[in-house]
Amino acid sequence: MPVKKRPQDLRSHRWIGTSDLRAFGHRSRLRQGGYDAHDWEGKPVIGIINTWSDINLCHTHLRSRAEDVKRGVLQAGGFPIEIPVMSLSEVFQKPTTMLYRNLLAMEVEESLRSHPIDGAVLLGGCDKTTPGLLMGAISMGVPAIYVPAGPMLRGNWHGEVLGSGSDAWKYWDEKRAGNITEEQWQEIEGGIARSYGTCMVMGTAATMMAIAEAMGFTLPGASSIPAADAGHPRMAAAAGRRIVDMVWDDLTPQKILTKESFDNAIRVHMAMGGSTNAIIHVVAMARRAGIPMDMNRFDEISREVPVLANIRPSGEALMEDFFYAGGLRALMNELRDTLDLGCMTVTGKTVGDNIKGGQVYKPDIIRSLNNPVSRDGATAVLTGNVAPRGCVMKPSAAEKRLHRHRGKVIAFEDYNHMAREVERDDLDVTPDHILVLKNGGPKGGPGMPEWGMLPIPKKLVKMGVRDMLRISDARMSGTSYGACILHVAPESFVGGPLALVQTGDEIEVDVPARRIHLHVSDEELARRKAAWQAPSPRYPRGYGAMFSEHIGQADEGCDFDFLAPLGPVPEPEIH
């Protein structure tokens, strides 16, 4: 058995456990808040890192969930302190929350390091908050447990079940085609998001919450509980109790994260039909943990693990249905022969222990390996002369006819150019064309916005077309669907080959062969490269300028170069 920490071994002891003048100042300020020595003496200080805000409706309930966590911490003999951090509201924050994921990670790391925190409970769920919270906690290294916000309840319109995001795209095209009225569109608007919580389709939020659990960072089953379910506050309180024992056991992220735990997470991602955004975030988290990782690992595992979760956009149901069907424990139990069951988790037990007894109650929603939703895989990584460092696609969410396709290009220089052109009734476009969007990457966006699900041109929508090949260096919402090829690396803004693609060129895509090829001679590409001029930086000052100077490309996880594991950061001096 590992040796348990003593009170004098706690980080917080240097702040509040000694008998010098500085500790007097710290304790007197705690007394200023109405606490006394009984509240903190000999107890671990637990930082509750909360991404609640009024502008992030996915996290509306996290204000009260922090109180549930505090209750659990107090029950277990800890001293809870809530620390607010930026919320990253996916819907409202512009130009994209991806611009600020690394800023959240920095804020989490430095909030934990600079305060007398012995262990952390991380409250989040909306897309970038999960990786941002975990990246910061991994780099800091104190014991940490994650409390996922949970999905919202199912949407409803005229008796139809609505899924946030996925059905917004679907019915927007129907409105553009003239098939639904403005009044009906407003009814959908009022029925698509019926409670607090994250998107209830298999978007980035649901994907990353499941990945966090598969990696071992949550209590068993935590990622599947709907935000409005009474089980959710119970889970939050249980996490508060558990973190106290984790501190005494010194169960840090470094003791949980291994190559095998990341492979488990990727296998779960594939079986869930997860968002392509997960690739960027998992690569970044692995590199923070000092574990080599690239996009190719996703492609390798995608060939082995089919899609089992019948959840939109790859399937039909929603996350509330997934919970009733048995949740993530049940899905992981279906995958148990493919998982490393010996990986450690925040429970102090192994993955195998945690999923034991997980049972599928609705086999049409959580399928078996013998009866998958799709054998095509949730992720394909393509390479070729237009994407020498790779690009990604979600084959299970695309029409099969587009898995092998060659067509002429219509190229757009930026998002505004694209948005104008696709609404033109006289645009010279057919369903066989390939739309290409440039300057949507990490530096070009800036921040790699979710522009990758390029709208089908209005002319084609009216003809009934609902899918066509689209290529960009941007990302795509996990709630999106279609034959969208994303994350082209290197991006066009830095002179990657995508910058050289022109209208009238031909591109060939072969998903089974994992190949993408621009049918333009090397000589012509060299001529275009020589004539290419680098665009001016997007930001002249501030955080944006720092972002542009230090951000990595999509295949590198879009992390800052100075946040890679470069050795331990010294503990703060307490004078």
DSSP of 403-420, one letter per residue? SEEEEEEEEESSHHHHHH
- CB hemisphere CA count around 496 (13 angstroms): 28
User: Would you say the C-alpha torsion 264, 389, 481, 518 has a positive or negative sign?
Assistant: negative
Q: Supply the DSSP symbol for 81.
A: E
- Apex 56 CA angle, 137 and 313, nearest 5: 85
Phi-psi region of 77 (alpha: psi -120 to 50; beta: other; left: phi over 0): left
Assess if residue 461 is contained within a domain: yes
Domain assignment present for residue 212? The answer is yes
Residue closest to 394 by CA, chosen among 248, 540, 202, 265: 202
- Residue 481 and residue 384 share a domain: yes
At residue 10, the pLDDT reads: 98
Indicate whether 131 belongs to any domain. Answer: yes
The closest of 548, 450, 521 to 95, measured between CA atoms, is 450
Distance (Å, whole) CA 468 – CA 457 = 10
Residues 512 and 408 in one domain: yes
Q: Which helix (H) or strand (E) holds 350?
A: none
Contact indicator for 415, 440 with CB cutoff of 8 Å: yes
Q: Where among 175, 191, 207 does a domain terminate?
A: 191
Range of the domain at 500: 380-531
The count of domains in the chain is 3
Provide the β-strand partners of residue 343. none
Domain boundary among 339, 355, 371: 355
What is the rounded CA–CA span in Å between residue 451 and residue 472? 8
Q: Can you give the pLDDT at residue 319?
A: 97
Of 504, 503, 410, 394, residue with least CA distance to 460? 410
Handedness of CA 67, 73, 74, 79 (dihedral sign): negative
Q: Which DSSP letter does residue 115 get?
A: T
24: which residues sit within 8 A by CB, 6+ positions away?
none
Looking up tokens 């975990």 gives: 134
HSE (side-chain half, CA atoms, 13 Å) at 436: 29
Q: Report pLDDT for 523.
A: 97
> Please, what are the averages of pLDDT over each run of 10 residues along the chain (575 residues)?
87 96 97 97 98 97 98 98 97 95 98 98 98 98 98 94 88 92 95 95 96 98 98 98 98 98 98 95 97 95 96 93 98 98 98 97 97 89 97 91 97 96 96 98 96 94 95 90 95 98 98 97 97 93 96 97 85 91
pTM, to two decimals: 0.96
- Residue 20 in any domain: the answer is no
**Number of helices followed by number of strands (H, E) in the chain:** 20, 14
User: Would you give the distance in Å from CA 237 to the centre of its chain?
Assistant: 24
**Distance (Å, whole) CA 38 – CA 59:** 32
CA separation for the pair 36, 30 (Å, rounded):
7
222 plus 301 within the same structural domain: yes
Q: In terms of domains, do 85 and 132 share one? A: yes
Is the domain of 235 the same as that of 127?
yes
DSSP-assigned states of every residue in 421-450: HTT-TT----TT-EEEE-S-STTTTTS--S
Q: Is 356 helix (H, G, I), strand (E, B) or coil?
A: coil
In a domain, 483, yes or no: yes
Per the domain annotation, does 262 fall within a domain? yes
Residue 428 and residue 291 in one domain:
no
Q: Are 538 and 544 in contact (CB under 8 A)?
A: yes
- The reply to whether omega before 44 is within 30° of 0 (cis) is no
Token reading at 545:
């300028």
Q: Is residue 16 part of a domain?
A: no
Report the CATH number that the domain containing residue 408 is assigned in CATH: 3.50.30.80
Query: In this structure, are 77 and 59 located in the same domain?
Result: yes
If DSSP codes are grouped into helix, strand and coil, which group holds residue 534? coil
Tokens of 129: 């908050």
Pairwise CA distance, residues 68 & 72, whole Å: 6
Tokens matching residue 205: 């939020």
Q: Are residues 519 and 400 in the same domain?
A: yes
| Same domain flag for 407 and 339 | no
120 and 53, same structural domain?
Answer: yes
Task: Report helix, strand or coil for 517.
Answer: strand
Tokens of 495: 């002179």
Whether residues 250 and 311 share a domain: the answer is yes
For residue 35, the SS3 value is coil
d(CA 508, CA 514): 11
Is residue 60 in a domain? yes
Cα torsion angle, 184, 189, 193, 199, sign: positive
Clarify whether residues 186 and 289 are in a common domain: no
Q: Are 112 and 186 in contact (CB under 8 A)?
A: no
For residue 253, cis peptide bond before it (omega within 30 degrees of 0): no
